[in-house]
Structure 1
Amino acid sequence: MSESGDDGARHARAKRTRKKKQRPFWQELPILIVIAGVIAALMVTFVGRPYVIPSESMQPTLHGCAGCTGDRIYVQKLSYYWGDPQPGDVVVFVGPPSWNTHYQSIRSDNTVVRGVQNFFAFFGFVPPDENDLVKRVIAVGGQTVECCDAQGRVIVDGKPLDEPYARYDDPYVPGRPYGSAGGREFGPVTVPEGHLWVMGDNRNQSSDSRAHISDSPDLRGTVPVDNVRGKAVVKIWPPSRIGTVRSENPQTD
């Protein structure tokens, strides 16, 4: 047999081998689904995930209210692998136990359905069953925070803060504590190391660190850094609200 005949035979055998090895799509589909699920799980666990804003505590920065379409934000975890949250960061965190008094589980009472929900939560397709909250970091470990100066501003380490993102419904009334009509005053509170003092931008509609000062003598309204799930970086839904979530450090000049 000629050399060209040998080449033709080899090509024919190779072509038949490739045809035999190629699987139909329906056989490859489960493999592709598993690979996609693993990638999604890795992304949710180590990179970040979307969250829905459920309340109006962060307006006007983030929109959310009962019965409306709340902002959906993307929260990334990478920033805090190499450092802790800083003043001005908008963070998602799990509320300490004393913050969970009104939290209701989002899981079904049906054992089978609950198992399915937990399974999809692992891959990031269902929200986690935890009391996730979103607030802005105002002070960090070792700093002392209180309110107010003569203009009604929050004070950290003796310095009043310039907070363009903060919204108050009522003018400042000296002598009125937080929780009363027009009240803003609280503290002073020294934030323990490894903890954060957090507040909502919508100051009159936010149950934040100020509301939990008396819950625990150790925490005094602060949140452990270990409870932080990540940093809010962008609004991804609805389309009219797409944009970045800015970190504005109120302690800088």
Structure 2
Amino acid sequence: MTETAIKEPANSPRSGLAAAAREFVLIVVGALIVSSILRAFVGQMFIIPSESMQNTLVIGDRVVVEKITEAERGDVIVFEDPGGWLGAEESGQKRGSVGRFFEVVGLLPDSSHGHLIKRLIGMPGDKVVCCDKQGRLMVNGQPLEESSYLFPGDAPSAMEFQVTVPAGKVFVMGDHRSASGDSRVHLTDTGAEGTTPGDAAFVPFDKITGRAVLVVWPASNFSKLGRPDTFKNVPPAVGPAPAKPVIALTPPPK
């Protein structure tokens, strides 16, 4: 007796269901691949974990971070911890393996674990000082008018300083200055790979994830994150950026 294979008719319901299932799987896999690529090279979403950027951003806001354009003065940027910056209140809660998978493929906003978000104040070579006679922060001699984003009641800085930003790094500050562990707090710290006090106060370019450009959730907080006009008036640095930061914890001449 010979065996004969039983073939489903090409137009049978079972073969049509199998084809639809294969097509669905291919669509899902393709969507995950595209989403992962977009997250890696174009942009991703982060959850705000702390109050350091209030009232520009509040705890629980979902922000879109784009990775295509270079960050400039005035931008709100997301970056990896440069080393020793993060306390429990500044770092988002780390998700489990399943949640992390959905973060990686872009289906969940990043929990912000290991990342911070601040405003970029000084580029390499910039001299950032606090403060002038009116109590304003100055960059390259130009005072900043920060009332449009500074937390109500906060001074531009409670501590006085003069710094020149080193090559390859930026100086950042939170908009809620009295509740932000930003570059100022680390002006006497030595980084993990550094030997000079203050090395840890500046964020290397390769640690910057991207520019925060949009608050998308909750809907009541939907807004665009632009670059404040005051930064348009800041002149270029007067000279090349030094290899090491130049730091003085004293007020500028007034």
Under TM normalisation by the shorter chain, which class is it?
Answer: 0.7 to 0.9
1:115 to partner: Cα distance: 4.0
The percentage of aligned residue pairs carrying the same residue is 36
Preserved contact between residue 57 and residue 202 of structure 1 (Cα < 8 Å): yes
The counterpart of 2:151, out of the listed 157, 161, 167, is 167
Task: Supply the distance in 1 between the matched residues of 2:221 and 2:92 (Cα, whole angstroms).
Answer: 28
- Larger fraction in helix: 1
Question: For residues 67-146 of structure 1, what are the structure 2 equivalents within 5 Å?
Answer: 70-80=60-70, 85-102=71-88, 106-107=93-94, 114-126=96-108, 127=110, 130-146=113-129
Structure 2 residue 171 is the aligned partner of structure 1 residue 200: no
Instruction: State the AA in 1 paired with 2:32.
Output: G
The counterpart of 1:210, out of the listed 184, 198, 203, is 184
1:139 to partner: Cα distance: 0.7
Preserved contact between residue 92 and residue 111 of structure 2 (Cα < 8 Å): no
1:104 to partner: Cα distance: 6.4
Name the count of aligned residue pairs: 214
The counterpart of 1:40, out of the listed 35, 38, 45, is 35
Task: Supply the distance in 1 between the matched residues of 2:219 and 2:112 (Cα, whole angstroms).
Answer: 27
Tell me the residue number matched to 1:235. 215
3-state SS in 2 of match to 1:79: coil
TM-score (norm 1): 0.74
Instruction: State the AA in 2 paired with 1:157.
Output: N
Task: Supply the distance in 1 between the matched residues of 2:150 and 2:138 (Cα, whole angstroms).
Answer: 14
Tell me, which stretches of 5 or more residues in structure 2 are unaligned? Answer: 1-8, 191-196, 234-254
3-state SS in 2 of match to 1:231: strand
Preserved contact between residue 90 and residue 136 of structure 1 (Cα < 8 Å): yes
Tell me, which stretches of 5 or more residues in structure 1 are unaligned? Answer: 1-15, 65-69, 109-113, 173-177, 179-183
Q: Deviations over 1:100-129 (max 9, x none)?
A: 354768446xxxxx4434433321235267
Structure 2 residue 32 is the aligned partner of structure 1 residue 49: no
RMSD (Å) for aligned C-alpha atoms: 2.6
Q: Deviations over 1:113-165 (max 9, x none)?
A: x4434433321235267421111111110111121111111122222212132
